Chain A
Amino acid sequence: MSRDVALECRAVVKRYGSVLAVDGLDLVVARGECFGLLGPNGAGKTTTIEMLEGLLTPDAGVVEVLGRRWADSAADLRPRLGIQLQETQLSEKLSVAETLRLFRSFYPAGPSLHELLALVGLESKSDARVGKLSGGQKQRLSVACALAGAPDVLFLDEPTTGLDPQSRLQLWDVLTRFKASGGTILLTTHDMDEASTLCDRVGVVDRGRLIALGTPAELIASLGAAQVVEVRLADGAVAPPVAAVESLPGVREARVSDGLVTLGSTAIHETIPAVLRALAETGSAVRDLTTHSATLEDVFVALTGRHLRDG
């Protein structure tokens, strides 16, 4: 195996009772790469990342981290990994500095307390109790705890879920700097913006399987349509058959559901007049029409027929 590989999963399976959470997943993350696992809730993202973190044992398949396996190298691996869990609530009675000093004490080497505070921009909150922090500050503290041992690999499970836009940007900034210093990042998210902004490559996970893999640009290009046209029909309007819209000029892909006509298009200046004409012919009244550049969300919808937020 290559020295450039940081994380690898081969045919990994994990079951919870009769539920198949991860179903034969293959994944390779290179050193220095920021890799995003994208998928709806319950897709198997957290289970996958926790198997890589050594917190869960796969039922079948192989997991390798920095070229080693958890079964015989846990003591060597732990100091080299930084882990942030989605659900951990740090002790509210301790201050920011006390919490960081605690986590720093677990590692043989790492940044000083002041360096850690500076890394996540919490210098002014050093003496504040964790219970008094905002959601964004708590999340940055949680990431600082993960950075306490100067890890080679950083695992982040939905790091920005529930954060306001400002906090989200601050956290992205922290991660960008970690990556610039040569660190490897594996993060899970159901936020396409996050995946496109931070990640070199994205793996789309659905029902425990990796259904698409590539750079955000590659995935979007795989749609074959740079633009998306969405036509919302008036309440009670008759929906046109898919056949009536999928062969219109410029259209590469079409879906009709719940009063919404979605068209992937390579030429919206041709597609828009044509779809409006087609709808007039089928007698479908239009409420509004919007267009946007194709995103990872559209990729996900095209692959699964569901939206990421649907869960």
Chain B
Amino acid sequence: MAESMGRAPFWPALRELTTARMREFLREPEAVFWVFAFPVIMTCALGIAFRTRVDEPVLVGIERALGAAAVAGPSTGAADDAATEAATEALRRAGGFEVRLVAPGGVERALRDGVVQVVVTPGAVPIYRFDPARAESRLARLAVDVALQRAAGRADAFEPRQDAVRAVGSRYIDWLVPGLLGMNIMGTGMWSTSFAIVTARTRKLLKRLVATPMPRSAYLLSLLGSRLAFLVGEATVLVAFGWIAFGVAVHGSIVALAVVSLLGALAFGGIALLVSSRAQTVEGVSGMLNLVMVPMWVFSGVFFSSANFPDALQPFVQALPLTALNDALRAVMNDGEPLAALWRELAVLTVWGGASFALALKLFRWT
């Protein structure tokens, strides 16, 4: 038997580990579904839910004063009926309103459930009831007020010229698709990498691997490498679907989009390695993943802009890797920005990925 042999080969090990990981993944039909089909289904559902509503009417509730009429007698009842009629007529003539009668007891519920956006109680001094926390409710109050004031005789100071933006590229869905892509790069990267590690650890496969001369970094890099390979498919499916189904175009270069996506995937791959570096059970790592990801779903501008958060929170929001990824994806897809303009976001992703990979390599528990 040979007395001295060469050191363990790095590249063949990395290649075989990456191939093995990809095979394992592709032979798990459920995993393939969640990674490839689920984002498309979600984009479709959200695209329909948030589709651009160009001529949607403002939903106005008129409080029907039935109870009041009955208690106060026929004369006031007639006056109420007349006021209701006048208000309904004013809104009908102004156009763009859909009027629904609301029973007095049902005002709060109708507002809460979004059945109406504002409730008007007609009278000499009408009462508007609305939810100031909802943008559409505030807008509805303004529109109703303008229509009723005009009907009561207020004249406009001037007639503005208007230019409605309806161009493709500035709709909500155009903004939403890059966010979903970012969220998907985070989600599938975190789940698939962490589960692969924790499963191998509970099956004592990690222990068996470190009993061989396998370079440990090759194992961790193979997880990142296989992630990148799937990312190409995953991102292509989602971007192509957004384009075909909703006409969401990529205004920047495909190369820039690929670079941003790859860097994002590496950053979240690194974070996944760190999160699962010591976890012993699938349940344990699931909890940790939620702890890490839920704040980013909320703060990183997937469904609504992260600019909505107060200034005091912005340093935190901007430091999150998903914020950087979403901002960079939107800059490339929506605004056609070149990579050079995205150095800040790319730097944030690089630091997250590099630091978490280095830390994971130190903390990683193999047995």
Contact = CB atoms under 8 A, between A and B. Distances in A.
A83 interface: yes
Interface stretch (B201-209, B273-281, B308-316): B201-209
Given A105-B16, A109-B2, A91 B212 contact: no
A89 interface: yes
A55 B20 contact: no
Q: For the side of the interface on B, what is the size category?
A: 20 to 34
B8 interface: yes
A103 B8 contact: no
A75 interface: yes
A105 B14 CA distance: 9
Interface in B300-345: none
A164 interface: no
B192 interface: no
B170 to A, nearest CB: 46
A89 B200 CA distance: 9
B129 interface: no
A148 B5 CA distance: 14
Interface in A22-46: none
Contacts of A108: 5-9, 213
Contact of A79 (B23, B200, B208, B213): B213
Point out which of A80, A182, A183 has the most chain B C-beta atoms below 10 A from its C-beta: A80
A107 B213 CA distance: 7
Interface stretch (A93-101, A195-203, A270-278): A93-101
Nearest to A85: B208
Contacts of B6: 79, 108-109
B115 to A, nearest CB: 51
A93 B204 CA distance: 16
Nearest to B26: A93
Point out which of A76, A89, A102 has the most chain B C-beta atoms below 10 A from its C-beta: A102
Contacts of A211: none
Interface in B170-206: 200, 203-205
A103 B213 CA distance: 10
A2 B212 CA distance: 26
Given A55-B207, A89-B205, A94 B7 contact: no
Interface in B1-38: 1-2, 4-9, 12-13, 15-17, 19-20, 23-24, 27-28
A98 B20 contact: yes
Given A102-B16, A108-B8, A91 B213 contact: no
Given A83-B211, A108-B7, A108-B9, A89 B204 contact: yes
Given A93-B23, A93-B28, A94-B23, A106 B213 contact: yes
Q: For the side of the interface on A, what is the size category?
A: 20 to 34
B24 A106 contact: no
A93 B27 contact: yes
Contact of A75 (B20, B207, B213): B213
Nearest to A55: B211
A53 interface: yes
B204 A88 contact: yes
Contact of A102 (B2, B17, B200, B210): B17
A217 interface: no
Interface string A148-173: 11101000000000000000000000
B15 A105 contact: yes
Interface in A125-182: 145, 148-150, 152, 182
Interface in B68-120: none
A76 B23 contact: no
Given A75-B8, A107-B212, A85 B204 contact: yes
B286 interface: no
Interface in B193-247: 200, 203-205, 207-214
B212 A78 contact: yes
A55 B367 CA distance: 8
Contacts of B210: 55
13 contacts: A54-B211, A75-B7, A80-B5, A85-B208, A88-B203, A93-B24, A94-B24, A107-B8, A107-B212, A108-B7, A109-B6, A152-B1, A183-B1
Given A81-B211, A105-B9, 11 more contacts: A78-B212, A78-B213, A85-B207, A89-B204, A90-B208, A91-B203, A101-B16, A106-B212, A109-B2, A145-B208, A150-B1
Interface of A: 53-55, 75-76, 78-81, 83, 85, 87-91, 93-94, 98, 101-103, 105-109, 145, 148-150, 152, 182-183
